[in-house]
Chains A and B, each alone.
Chain A
Amino acid sequence: MTPTQHAEARAKEPVSRCLIRHLIVPSIYWEAAWPEAEHHVDLLAIDRAGSGDVHIVEIKKKAADALKAVAQVMRIPAQYRWIAFFADTLDPKTKNALLNQRGLYPTEGPGRVGVIEIVRTAADTLGANIIIQAERFPGSLGELAESLKSRSKPDMSFD
């Protein structure tokens, strides 16, 4: 595992905790096979114990890579879509692009990709905070969610 892969793997837990603070008892899957078994997303959360809206998160160590991943995130079915990156990798160009926000919107229709920053304390403990709130994309994903639940167990849940 490279240092980048290790950082991105470690980030799953704080990003999950961040979503747990904002959702109602979500079921959270890491490396979820979504939307089909042959594709994976870094993190997927289904609100209301697996019966609510689907949130997906693409986690990158570098902010610039996370911003580049927005195009890919736009193609993944989910009511809420997020990118996450380590705050200490945010360069001026990426910061400007995030402030501008234009790239976070789809070319048509409602929705906005949300942004989560991962922060590191002095003791190298990781935390995560929402810096741009995601807005809801349209779509009914009940069948896909049921299919996921039938083939995998959540990594974090409240049962």
Chain B
Amino acid sequence: MLPHRTRSEDFYRAMKFLAAGVDTYGNAVALLAVHCAISLTDAIMIGCTGKRCNEEDHRAAVRALSRLCGERRLDADGIKHFSWLIERKTQFAYGDRRLDPDKDVKSAVLRADRFTAWAYRIFPEIAKAGQEQ
């Protein structure tokens, strides 16, 4: 689980670092936001169930996370941010349209922030894993 959380946090830090230059790095920032959320979901799924979603369509990961929250009767509110990012993954990576710095890029950062905060609040064991005492 830890390699996936570390990967998510690496993407997160890179996203934050580059977000200061949104006009120059907007495409990279948006895609980092998506991958930050995907890796964090992998960490949650492995930490909680022992396996991650291997389907190529990442919408399956959204459904798997929703199912996990349902089974454990957990607040699933943050999943909407993950879903928003996944719905735009193809557009951010390969789309013909130029990304809007506010509507696309800053929103992607905000969604990654909120999804990460939700995930660590609802799955504190994922946040605490690997902390030295």
Binding site for B on A (CB under 8 A): 21, 24-25, 48-53, 136, 138-140, 142, 157-159
Given contacts A51-B127, A51-B128, A52-B128, contact A159 B12 (CB under 8 A): no
Least CB separation from A22: chain B residue: B13
**What number of A-B contacts does a CB cutoff of 8 Å give?**
47
Least CB separation from B17: chain A residue: A21
Q: Which of B16, B127, B133 contacts A48 (CB 8 A)?
A: B127
Secondary structure dominating the interface of A: loop
Q: Which one of B24-32, B59-67, B113-121 is at the interface?
A: B113-121
Residues of B within 8 Å of A138, CB to CB, are 132-133
Q: How far is the CA of A140 from the CA of B121 in the complex (A)?
A: 18
Distance of B84 from chain A, by nearest CB (Å): 15
Residues of B within 8 Å of A48, CB to CB, are 120, 127-128
Q: For the A-B complex with A25-B113, A49-B117 known, give 7 more contacts whose Cβ atoms are closer than 8 Å.
A: A24-B13, A49-B118, A50-B120, A51-B127, A51-B128, A159-B117, A159-B121
* Interface flag for B124 (CB, 8 Å): yes
